[in-house]
Chain A
Amino acid sequence: NAGVTQTPKFQVLKTGQSMTLQCAQDMNHNSMYWYRQDPGMGLRLIYYSASEGTTDKGEVPNGYNVSRLNKREFSLRLESAAPSQTSVYFCASSLYGTEAYEQYFGPGTRLTVT
């Protein structure tokens, strides 16, 4: 099992460019999440999908969109990147509604917006 995979691992964008971060999990989890990590602030939730077919805003959704493509895949899109979106982005998954509720994380994507 690969667990949670993310692509790309690194990306540099110019202000105003768009890009999509990809996330996939092979653990048959129903819930998936996108977080951003900034120095001194821990991880903050951007969007989440509690089950296939649903998506909801987290703490910091502005400037982002998401798509739950199927049970395995959950993508995060930046339509017009801004320097404030320079961060490390993590995807995670879990089995919502069960005793196995821990979140498992991907390796992260370091994004720099110049």
Chain B
Amino acid sequence: AQTVTQSQPEMSVQEAETVTLSCTYDTSENNYYLFWYKQPPSRQMILVIRQEAYKQQNATENRFSVNFQKAAKSFSLKISDSQLGDTAMYFCAFMGAMEYGNKLVFGAGTILRVKS
């Protein structure tokens, strides 16, 4: 079974600075997808970014980018120019590409606080 580990329960960053959230995963599959979801205080789960394992190029979405290291099974999220609205819980998630049902396996989450 796949597992996802987020080793940083809480982090804080000053507004306008850069922060990196860590995620490692364990799988025997070669083809899979990785995601970062954001959960602000409103509780809504919002997809931030996704990465296909077969793509070597790291995904980017505006101020959000990932560092995907397939051999190390590492998938970190970098947030540049942090904004107060980035304050949220961030979840890393894994989906096996060949697994029936597109099921997601989540990490325990990292609370990020952006300070002014």
Contact = CB atoms under 8 A, between A and B. Distances in A.
Nearest to B35: A102
Contacts of B103: 33, 45, 48, 58
Contacts of B106: 42-44
Contacts of A102: 35, 47, 50
A104 B35 CA distance: 12
Interface size of B as a range: 20 to 34
B101 A56 contact: yes
Contacts of B45: 43, 90, 92, 105, 108
Interface in A49-80: 50, 56, 58
**Secondary structure dominating the interface of A:** strand
A50 B101 contact: yes
A31 B101 contact: yes
Nearest to A41: B108
Nearest to B43: A108
A43 B37 CA distance: 11
A25 B15 CA distance: 36
B19 to A, nearest CB: 20
* Residue of B44, B91, B103, B105 with most partner-chain A CB within 10 A: B103
Interface residues of A, number: 25
B102 A94 contact: yes
Contact of A42 (B33, B35, B47, B107): B107
Given A41-B108, A42-B108, A42-B109, A103 B43 contact: no
Given A40-B108, A50-B100, A102-B35, 14 more contacts: A40-B9, A41-B108, A42-B108, A43-B104, A48-B101, A50-B101, A56-B101, A88-B43, A92-B45, A96-B102, A104-B47, A105-B44, A107-B43, A108-B44
Interface of A: 31, 33, 40-45, 48, 50, 56, 58, 88, 90, 92, 94, 96, 101-105, 107-108, 110
8 contacts: A45-B103, A50-B100, A94-B102, A96-B102, A101-B33, A102-B47, A104-B47, A108-B44
Interface of B: 4, 9, 33, 35, 42-45, 47, 50, 91, 95, 100-109
